[in-house]
Amino acid sequence: MPIFADSARLGHESIHHFHDPESGLKAIIAIHSTALGPAAGGCRMWHYSDEDDALTDALRLSRGMTYKNAMAGLPLGGGKAVILADPQQPPSAQLFHAFGRCIATLGGRYITAEDVGVSVQNMRQVKQITNYVAGLPPTRGNAGGDPSPWTADGIFLGIEAAVRHRLGRSSVDGLRVAVQGVGKVGYDLCRQLRAAGASLVTCDVNAQNAARTHTDFAAEVVSPEQILAQDVDVIAPCALGAVLNAESIPQISASVIAGAANNQLACEQDGQRLHDRNILYAPDYVINAGGIISVSLEYTGNKTTADTRAQIALIPQRLADIFTTADKSRQPTNVVADSMAEHIVAAGRPTPATATGTP
Ligand code: NAD
């Protein structure tokens, strides 16, 4: 991969490769921007098909974090770590200690937390080495802990905002929602959607995860290949990225796409494809900011779960502003969101989160 060309195109400040033969750690930390504060973003552990694949993921995810943190009004830049998982070797404490040492060498320019494949326990192991980590078990009433339930809260509120805008509905009651990937965020989202009266269609490559949504929430389980083509009102992608692409978009009959996965659009033109099909897309890094809001409040300290809840409650208004601007300017929502985020980063200071909210 042409590393310098790609990182220059996406505007990265630096990219760090780490290898610790003793623990087997192979990791990449990509720092996209520290314009608004230290680069914050989770650590993903994944079995990548090759090293280029891992680097591409780190570059795209870290850039997304810059935009996400900016739009959430956080005093944080954007970064991301990926650990190249070895399927033969289960992750060990030794590996996460080595990862902690890698983070420490960056002297606070990068702050980590959980992402796909990484647990609270793993973050505790990192914490034994360095303080540049969040997503740790909170003490009573304090902000923090596993970011996933907070992300799910934001997605649920964001879906409500999207159906209000596109379908004129005040709630999801009576709507049919497809949830792609029912892991930590997707499962919790299903719980909230079901409690609010939606009926569910789910899928997961992990059959046990999918079956659990049938047992617990009466979800109709379909195969991963069928999920995007379901006759539903809303699709919530909550698995991995690039699921919205030239091939999949023509199959979609839902009028709203609003979910947790990062980098849902395979490329920027896919936003235009959705716009052309009159499908309302909630930009992923805006709707899925609940987790990083929790991480940020935990890291900066002296904040409570009530503070986290209050900041997450601003996500629907942010989305509504994007939807309205997109309608007026006849632009795809991803283009509108990118331009708002770039504006905030260029100004070099976070736009504080407020109840009226438009960054
Ligand atoms: P997770 O690993 O707990 O869940 C992902 C689920 O998707 C798993 O059950 C997995 O088996 C399933 N899956 C993987 N590939 C699939 C496919 N092709 N089709 C169907 N299912 C598939 O991860 P999570 O923490 O729930 O995160 C879900 C997504 O949301 C990820 O893209 C993550 O980056 C993003 N996200 C998560 C958070 C958070 O707080 N956890 C925050 C922001 C964004």
Q: Are residues 279 and 172 in the same domain?
A: yes
Q: Rounded mean pLDDT of 227-244?
A: 96
How many Cβ atoms are within 10 Å of 340's Cβ, its own excluded? 21
- Say if residue 208 is in the same domain as residue 342: yes
Q: At what angle do helices 290-300 and 148-167 cross, to 10 degrees?
A: 140
pLDDT in the model for residue 3 = 67
- Which one from 26, 68, 80, 303 is the annotated catalytic residue? 80
Residue 356 clears pLDDT 70, i.e. is over it: no
pLDDT value for 56: 92
**pLDDT at 280 exceeding the cut of 70:** yes
Q: Are residues 161 and 263 in the same domain?
A: yes
The domain that contains 187 carries what CATH number? Answer: 3.40.50.720
Strand partners, 79: 31
Looking at ligand 1, which residue's alpha carbon is closest to its atom 39? 148
Q: Do 189 and 329 sit in the same domain of this protein?
A: yes
Question: pLDDT tens, 322-354?
Answer: 999 999 999 999 999 999 999 999 998 776 655
User: Residue 201 in contact with residue 177, Cβ under 8 Å?
Assistant: yes
Question: Is-contact 68 115, C-beta < 8 A?
Answer: no
Model pLDDT for residues 69-85, shown as the tens digit of each residue: 999 999 999 999 999 99
Give the residue numbers spanning the domain of 279: 148-288+318-347
Is 138 within the bounds of a domain? no
Judge if 114 and 235 occupy the same domain: no
Q: Do residues 229 and 259 both lie within one domain? A: yes
Residue at 70 is within a domain:
no
One domain for residues 46 and 176: no
Residues 215 and 330 in one domain: yes
Please check whether residues 196 and 91 belong to one and the same domain.
no
Instruction: Output the CA torsion 300→156→268→331 (10° steps).
Output: -110
- Ligand 1 center to residue 186 CA distance, Å? 7
Cα of 14 vs centre of ligand 1, distance in Å, is 27
For residues 91-114, average pLDDT: 97
> What gap in Å lies between CA 37 and CA 121, rounded to an integer?
26
- Range 211-233 average pLDDT: 98
Is 298 part of a structural domain of the chain? no
The overall average pLDDT reported for the chain is 94
**Banded model confidence at residue 90, pLDDT cuts 50, 70, 90:** confident
Any domain includes 121? yes
In a domain, 265, yes or no: yes
pLDDT given for residue 11 in this prediction: 85
Q: Are residues 27 and 176 in the same domain?
A: no
Residue position matching structure tokens 């420490």 = 104
Res. 358: pLDDT tops 60 = no
Residues 168 and 255 in one domain: yes
pLDDT at residue 353, rounded to an integer: 59
Report the CATH number that the domain containing residue 103 is assigned in CATH.
3.40.50.10860
- What is the identity of the amino acid at 80? K
Residues 279, 203 share a domain: yes
352: in domain: no
Count: domains in the chain: 2
pLDDT value at position 276? 98
pLDDT of residue 91: 87
- Does residue 245 carry a pLDDT above 60? yes
Tens of pLDDT, residue by residue over 181-192, are 999 999 999 999
Catalytic annotation on 68? Answer: no
163 pLDDT more than 80? yes
Distance 155 CA to ligand 1 centre (A): 13
Q: Which residues line ligand 1 (CB under 6 A)?
A: 115-116, 147-148, 151, 180-186, 203-206, 209, 224, 238-240, 260-262, 288, 291
- Is 116 part of any domain? yes
Reported as a pLDDT band with limits 50, 70 and 90, residue 140 is confident
pLDDT above 70 covers what percent of the chain?
Answer: 95
